[in-house]
Amino acid sequence: MLLLLSPAKIQNFTPQHYIQDFTIPEFIDSAGILAHKIKQLSRTELADLLDINSNLAQLNADRHFNWQVPFTPQNAKQSIFVFNGEVFRGLDAKTFSPDEFGYLQSHLRILSGLYGVLRPLDLIQPYRLEVSTRLKTDKGNNLYAFWKNHITPSLNNAILGSGGPKVLLNLASGEYFKSINRKQLQAEVIDFEFLENRNDQYIPIVMYVKKARGMFVRYVIEHRIENVEDLKGFNADGYWYNSRLSTEKKLVFTRG
């Protein structure tokens, strides 16, 4: 059973002191190709590509200019501690035990526009590159084309290596899940919704959805869940499994 998340735009490269173990991204060479292409863009071209203002464009131009290999703890940081959006606040990885980190490493993958697929302890350097970015390469006109032959086989290997049933728990955004060839995925896919009760109607609220995804990953890691039926026991922060709204392939949790 494998958990899948999207990355966060907010990144924190302050040194961390929770765990010293690290790994190197599987597709570090491919990431280097993308970083090199971005280095060749002017600030105006980068602003247009990423749809950001000139100040952010300069920041990200500097980031890619400073790209250097090999990655070490001195010039990079483990991905699970870098991403700092609501999903990763809900996950709160810094409070995991060393044993839980080991389980997390084999049971969680984070999709990335620059790195393709990341394990939690993979070292990364600062970047801003969404998987939907229309960066032209020799593979095609966007990053979906660039990564299409990399991400799905990597996830298949990770699913096989994670043990238990061949199930992918999709807690990634639609934008990132599009980078996967679902027909070639050798696993059952379970999708999720986290909904709020507003005036007797259940609706998604993006900020809460993101945090709930992180809390759900934490629930699976803490309880070593290997059975789909046991996923329904998630009840953090007021959420409960809603059997009426759920289906066999989509688990819905509601609160309020």
Which residue spans within the chain are E strands per DSSP? 2-5, 77-78, 108-112, 116-118, 123-124, 167-170, 188-198, 201-203, 240-241, 250-255
pLDDT band at 65 (very low <50, low <70, confident <90, very high): confident
pLDDT of residue 112: 98
pLDDT of residue 218: 98
Task: Report which of 62, 48, 44 is spatially closest to residue 125, judged by C-alpha positions.
Answer: 62
pLDDT at 128 exceeding the cut of 80: yes
pLDDT at 139 exceeding the cut of 90: yes
CB 129 within 8 Å of CB 135: yes
Token pair of 79 as six digits: 């991905």
Which residues, at least 6 apart from 206, have a Cβ–Cβ distance to it below 8 Å?
Answer: none
pLDDT digits (tens, 9 = 90+) for 206-244: 999 999 999 999 999 999 999 999 999 999 999 999 999
Average pLDDT over residues 42-56: 89
pTM above 0.85, yes or no: yes
Task: Report which of 152, 149, 124 is spatially closest to residue 137, judged by C-alpha positions.
Answer: 149
Question: In which residue are the tokens 């789909």 written?
Answer: 228
Looking at residue 250, its amino acid is K
Whole-number mean pLDDT of the chain? 95
d(CA 159, CA 162): 5
CA–CA distance from 212 to each of 123, 129, 155, 167 (Å)?
25, 24, 23, 20
pLDDT of residue 56: 87
d(CA 68, CA 75): 8
The string of DSSP letters for 164-217 reads SS-EEEE-S-HHHHTTS-GGG--SEEEEEEEEEEETTEEE--HHHHHHHHHHHH
